[in-house]
Amino acid sequence: MRVRSSSRLAVILKLTTLQTLYSTDHPGLKKRDELEDMLEERRRSSDARHALRCYAPAVYKGLAPREVSALRGAVLQSDALQHVIGQVSAECGERRELVQEEAAHLLDEMAHRLRLGTVRFFAYVLSKVFKTLFRSVRVNEEGVQRLQQAIQDHPVVLLPSHRSYMDFLMMSYILYTYDLALPVIAAGMDFMSMKVVGEMLRMSGAFFIRRSFGGDKLYWAVFSEYVKTMLRTGYAPIEFFLEGTRSRTGKSLTPKTGLLNIVMEPFFKGEVFDIHLVPVSISYDRILEESLYARELLGVPKPKETTSGLLKARQILREDYGVMHVYFGHPVSVRSLAQGRVKRSQYNLVPRHIPQRPCLAAQALVGEAAFRLVRLQEQAMVLRPWTLVATLLLQNPDGMDLPVLEEQAAWLRRLALSFGAFLDWPGRTCRPVVGAGLALHKNLARVSGGRVRLAVAETPGVGQTAEELAFDRAVGVLSCASYRNQILHVFIRPALLSVALRTANSSRKDEVYTCFNFLWTVFSNEFILCPGASVQDFEEACYLLGKCCAVQESQQDIVMSEGGHATLAFLRALLDPFLQGYQVVCQYLCKETEENLRENKFVPAARNFALQLILAGTLKCYEALSSDLQKNALAALVQLEAVTKVKV
């Protein structure tokens, strides 16, 4: 059976009807793999047979045969955990056996219980669900093959982007379908409250971690030893989300380094030869949680995950979610990352099971790696034409004539491609592509009388207050923005430069850079800007704007070129909602009279402040209502030491 599936890969690769993502008129761009619809075979053959077929994935070559069933014992008896149990028992005067029991309890709460039967059940159900939800699920099969090889050679960590609950279901589903080793997945504890589903997920490979356990030494020890044991033994690929949670905005979130630290440590300590980190970019035509997210950003709390809630969500199944794209990136070797950066011999003088704070170089490396991996995710995220359309519509709140929209979309397509966007643009003409996007997102954009505009209410409905109307409109704008945000990573550096060119006092490069750097710092929480890379980013921005003839560079100066106006204006407009939003936050903080503002009061108060401005007609930017933006702005102000956090 394994042969069958790998031969399937081979056959598919040879198919000549491949749809290329890049038309040949952009030969200079990065070579990317081709994508295949993995649901195609599901639509042709029995799902039951698919679920019951022989599943025999290739495993890590160093896998110790008996380790699998002994995982629990191996973790609980590990030197590392025993060491911490001893410490904890000494510190709190508790009997060692009790602490040991507590550790066992924590582990049982956490651990996955991967069962092939459950996986088969999921394979069956998800086949049905995915076929209903998606027109196709397109996967780069070369990436799957690379992953298959990587899993055999080294312990593998899968790092998918996180936009939807679908993400990890889809990941496991894909790996099962291609006969790859199923991952164990770090999931937030919130799922556990869904009794049946929680257990189902557990049996399909999820393990659950508490959202916060900062000070709990024992929890940390159990958790990190659990993950490291699975990694060291090559038990299964480990999967977690660098962003820590689902991005509600469509932008990538600043990566969290906690788990990445844990999974890289076995390499630093020489316990494995190498570890391969595989970024996976998952993108959706339409996100299932689209309007939920917008509401969450506006302060409607996230619904608690309950099984009955999930059943209610069945109506979701009736809608069309278009195409889903999953791109498996090239494995990144931790060994290569660490080459010449981290001295592994620093661990020579202390037994390795004793927790040791990694040296500064290692910490820096992990931080950088995290950003780099999120960037890799971003770069391989398939972008659909609709993201361009949404961008244009947001910049033209009064609507656009369809032909103008099409023309602009074609222009923007060229610009995005020249900036290296991974744009999936079927065919070369614009009209059908724009039309298809509008059709799929008819809840967000409306076409009437040859004019396209955002589908937001103009006047209050019956019994609707002005506030409710503003809220409704904000939901529409934020939903739309979540698509525009997907493409921001392509434009962010040139956009920062465009604003800097406008604000700088002269065209001297150093002055422009100073402005650029300021904006870069301010927005370092908003966008994925690798720490310490502002000079590189500036150079990249100059290069890209030079390449599309928007600016001209000389030895000393950088100036807008004659035909550069449209490009620069577009890029500035792209950043405009963020600039406005940050300004609103600053205004609010200046006006706030309370001496000590409590952090949990900040978001509602800032939102209310923005809402009042909108109602008064002085603010047109609905994105200023987004709690994500407000939090990022506050974080930036704290970093810039304009605001200080004090513990009360």
Partner 1 sequence: SSHFFRQDIMKWNGWGYSDSRFLFNKKGQGEFTGKRYRLSGMILPSLKDWFEATFGTSLQHKTPATPTLNVSAVPPPNLVEPFVEELKVAGVAASHDPEGRVFRSHGHCLHEIFALREGRIGRVPDLVVWPNCHNDVVKIVELACKYNVCLMPYGGGTSVSSALECPLEETRSVVSLDTSQMNRILWIDEKNLTVHVEAGIIGQDLERQLNESGYCTGHEPDSMEFSSLGGWVATRASGMKKNIYGNIEDLVVHIKMVTPRGVIEKSCQGPRMSTGPDIHHFIMGSEGTLGVVTEVTMKIRPLPEYQKYGSIVFPNFQQGVSCLREVARQRCAPASIRLMDNEQFQFGHALKPQVSSIFTSFLDGLKKFYITKFKGFEPHHLCVATLLFEGDREKVLQHEKQVYDIAAKFGGLAAGEDNGQRGYMLTFVIAYLRDLGMDYYVIGESFETSVPWDRVLDLCRNVKERIVRECKERGVQFPPFSTCRVTQTYDAGACVYFYFAFNYRGLADPLHVYERVEHEAREEILANGGSLSHHHGVGKLRKEWMREAVSTVGLGMLQSVKEYVDPNNIFGNRNLL
Q: Residue 67 or residue 368: which is nearer to partner 1 going by CB?
A: 67
Beta strand 276-284 pairing with 332-333: antiparallel
CB of 271 to partner 1, least distance (A): 6
CB of 344 to partner 1, least distance (A): 4
Q: Residue 64 or residue 92: which is nearer to partner 1 going by CB?
A: 64
Please name the amino acid found at residue 378: E
User: Which of 343, 428, 431, 442: binder of partner 1 (CB under 8 A)?
Assistant: 343
Contact flag: residue 361 with partner 1 (CB under 8 A): no
Q: What is the C-alpha to C-alpha distance for residues 547 and 34, in angstroms, rounded to an integer?
A: 26
Q: Which value, in Å, is the radius of gyration of the alpha carbons in the chain?
A: 26
Part in contact with partner 1 (CB under 8 A); list of ranges 210-218, 337-345, 466-474, 476-484: 337-345
CB of 73 to partner 1, least distance (A): 16
Percent of the chain that is helix, strand, coil (3-state, to 5): 55, 10, 35
3-state secondary structure at position 1: coil
Part in contact with partner 1 (CB under 8 A); list of ranges 339-347, 376-384, 456-464, 521-529: 339-347
Q: Phi, psi (5° rounding) for residue 451?
A: -120, 140
Element (H, E) at 186: strand 184-188
Contact flag: residue 121 with partner 1 (CB under 8 A): no
CB of 153 to partner 1, least distance (A): 10
User: Which of 62, 367, 435, 546: binder of partner 1 (CB under 8 A)?
Assistant: 62
Q: What is the DSSP string of 436-456?
A: HHHHHTTTTEEEETTEEEE--
CB of 272 to partner 1, least distance (A): 8
Q: What is the C-alpha to C-alpha distance for residues 72 and 82, in angstroms, rounded to an integer?
A: 13
Nearest to 404 by CA among 418, 419, 416, 393: 393
Q: Residue 63 or residue 189: which is nearer to partner 1 going by CB?
A: 63
User: Which of 117, 303, 309, 351: binder of partner 1 (CB under 8 A)?
Assistant: 351
Q: What is the C-alpha to C-alpha distance for residues 464 and 332, in angstroms, rounded to an integer?
A: 53
Element (H, E) at 535: helix 534-547
Q: Residue 207 or residue 347: which is nearer to partner 1 going by CB?
A: 347
Nearest to 227 by CA among 108, 111, 106: 111
CB of 118 to partner 1, least distance (A): 31
CB of 361 to partner 1, least distance (A): 14
CB of 281 to partner 1, least distance (A): 28
Contact flag: residue 604 with partner 1 (CB under 8 A): no
3-state secondary structure at position 278: strand
3-state secondary structure at position 181: coil
Contact pattern for partner 1 over residues 18 through 57, marking x by CB under 8 A: ----------------------------------------
Q: What is the C-alpha to C-alpha distance for residues 257 and 447, in angstroms, rounded to an integer?
A: 45
Beta strand 184-188 pairing with 451-454: unpaired
Six token digits for residue 238: 């480990």
Contact flag: residue 4 with partner 1 (CB under 8 A): no
- Cβ atoms of 555 and 562 closer than 8 Å: no
CB of 348 to partner 1, least distance (A): 4
Contact flag: residue 546 with partner 1 (CB under 8 A): no
Q: Residue 96 or residue 343: which is nearer to partner 1 going by CB?
A: 343
Q: Residue 64 or residue 640: which is nearer to partner 1 going by CB?
A: 64
CA 168 and chain centroid, separation: 12
Q: Residue 154 or residue 248: which is nearer to partner 1 going by CB?
A: 154
User: Which of 69, 308, 315, 345: binder of partner 1 (CB under 8 A)?
Assistant: 345
CB of 342 to partner 1, least distance (A): 9
Contact flag: residue 117 with partner 1 (CB under 8 A): no
CB of 362 to partner 1, least distance (A): 13
Q: What is the C-alpha to C-alpha distance for residues 160 and 279, in angstroms, rounded to an integer?
A: 6
Six token digits for residue 32: 């990317």
Q: Residue 16 or residue 345: which is nearer to partner 1 going by CB?
A: 345
Contact pattern for partner 1 over residues 63 through 92, marking x by CB under 8 A: -x----------------------------
Contact flag: residue 348 with partner 1 (CB under 8 A): yes
Q: Residue 271 or residue 368: which is nearer to partner 1 going by CB?
A: 271
Q: Residue 210 or residue 352: which is nearer to partner 1 going by CB?
A: 352
Q: Residue 194 or residue 277: which is nearer to partner 1 going by CB?
A: 277
Biggest distance spanned by C-alpha atoms of the chain:
78
Q: Residue 270 or residue 432: which is nearer to partner 1 going by CB?
A: 270
Contact flag: residue 347 with partner 1 (CB under 8 A): yes
CB of 27 to partner 1, least distance (A): 30
Rounded (5°) CA angle 563-569-571: 110
DSSP annotation of 562: G
Strands (E), 542-622: 551-553, 558-560
Q: How many residues bind partner 1 (CB under 8 A)?
A: 13
Q: Residue 62 or residue 420: which is nearer to partner 1 going by CB?
A: 62
Contact flag: residue 446 with partner 1 (CB under 8 A): no
Q: What is the C-alpha to C-alpha distance for residues 11 and 430, in angstroms, rounded to an integer?
A: 32
Strands (E), 118-183: 136-140, 156-160
User: Which of 115, 210, 352, 547: binder of partner 1 (CB under 8 A)?
Assistant: 352
The residue whose two tokens read 């998918």 is 160
Contact flag: residue 435 with partner 1 (CB under 8 A): no
User: Which of 344, 431, 502, 508: binder of partner 1 (CB under 8 A)?
Assistant: 344
- Cβ atoms of 174 and 166 closer than 8 Å: no
Part in contact with partner 1 (CB under 8 A); list of ranges 233-241, 348-356, 455-463, 634-642: 348-356
Q: Residue 220 or residue 273: which is nearer to partner 1 going by CB?
A: 273
CB of 228 to partner 1, least distance (A): 13
- Cβ atoms of 185 and 267 closer than 8 Å: no
Q: What is the C-alpha to C-alpha distance for residues 524 and 22, in angstroms, rounded to an integer?
A: 31
Contact pattern for partner 1 over residues 490 through 529, marking x by CB under 8 A: ----------------------------------------
CB of 157 to partner 1, least distance (A): 19
Q: Residue 232 or residue 325: which is nearer to partner 1 going by CB?
A: 232
Separation of first and last alpha carbons in the chain: 63
Nearest to 9 by CA among 123, 147, 156, 172: 147
* CA atoms within a 13 Å half-sphere pointing along the CA-CB vector of 255: 29
CB of 64 to partner 1, least distance (A): 7
- Cβ atoms of 292 and 284 closer than 8 Å: no
Q: Phi, psi (5° rounding) for residue 16?
A: -90, -10
**Cα dihedral 356/359/362/363 (nearest 10):** 90
Q: For the segment 264-283, give every residue that binds partner 1 (CB under 8 A).
A: 270-273
> What does the binding site for partner 1 look like in residue numbers (CB under 8 A)?
62, 64, 270-273, 343-345, 347-348, 351-352
